[in-house]
Structure 1
Amino acid sequence: MFERLTGYLDSIRARDPAPQSRWEILLYPGVLAVGLHRVAHWLYEAKLYFLARFVNHFSRFLTAIDIHPGATIGRNLFIDHGFTVIGETAEIGDNVTIYQCVTLGGTNPTNGVGGKRHPTLGDNTIIGSGAQIIGPITIGTRARVGANAVVTDDVPEGATMIGLKARSTLVPAEEWIKEFIPYGTPCDEPCTPSRDCVEKLEGDLAALRAELAELKAALPGSRPRPAPRRTGAKRG
Structure 2
Amino acid sequence: MNDYLQSIIDRDPAAKSKISLILTYPGVKAVFFHRIANFFYQAKFDLIARIFSQFSRFLTGIEIHPGADIGKNLFIDHGMGVVIGETSKIGNNVTIYHNVTLGGVAPSINSNEQRNTKRHPTLEDNVVVGSGAQVLGPIIIGKNSLIGSNAVVTKDVPEKSIMAGIPATKVGDATKGFKPYAVTDEDKK
> How far apart in 2 are the matches of 1:71 and 1:167?
26
Structure 1 unaligned residues grouped into runs of 5+:
193-236
Partner deviation per Cα, 1:171-202 (whole Å, 9 max, x = no partner)? 2xxxx3323101211221x211xxxxxxxxxx
Tell me which residue corresponds to 1:91.
89
Partner deviation per Cα, 1:82-127 (whole Å, 9 max, x = no partner)? 2100000000000000000000001336472320000000100000
Q: Does 1:14 align with 2:16?
A: no
SS in 1 for 2:172: coil
Higher relative contact order (CA 8 A, sep 6+): 2
Tell me which residue corresponds to 2:105.
107
Asked if the contact 2:28–2:76 (Cα under 8 Å) also holds between the matched residues in 1, the reply is yes
Which of the pair has more CA radius of gyration? 1
Tell me which residue corresponds to 1:218.
none
Q: How does 1:66-215 map to 2 (within 5 A)?
A: 66-81=63-78, 82-108=80-106, 110=110, 112-114=113-115, 115-171=117-173, 176-188=174-186, 190-192=187-189
> How far apart in 2 are the matches of 1:185 and 1:62?
30
Tell me which residue corresponds to 1:197.
none
Tell me which residue corresponds to 1:58.
55
Structure 2 unaligned residues grouped into runs of 5+:
none
> How far apart in 2 are the matches of 1:40 and 1:56?
6
Give the TM-score normalised by the residue count of structure 2.
0.94
Identity of aligned residues (%): 53
Between Structure 1 and Structure 2, the one with more helix by share is 1
> How far apart in 2 are the matches of 1:104 and 1:113?
16
Q: Which stretches of structure 1, 4 residues or longer, exceed 4 Å deviation after superposition?
A: none
The root-mean-square deviation of aligned C-alpha atoms, in Å, is 1.1
Give the TM-score normalised by the residue count of structure 1.
0.75
Aligned length: 183
Between Structure 1 and Structure 2, the one with more strand by share is 2
Tell me which residue corresponds to 1:224.
none
SS in 1 for 2:63: strand
> How far apart in 1 are the matches of 2:10 and 2:176?
14
Tell me which residue corresponds to 1:213.
none
Tell me which residue corresponds to 1:204.
none
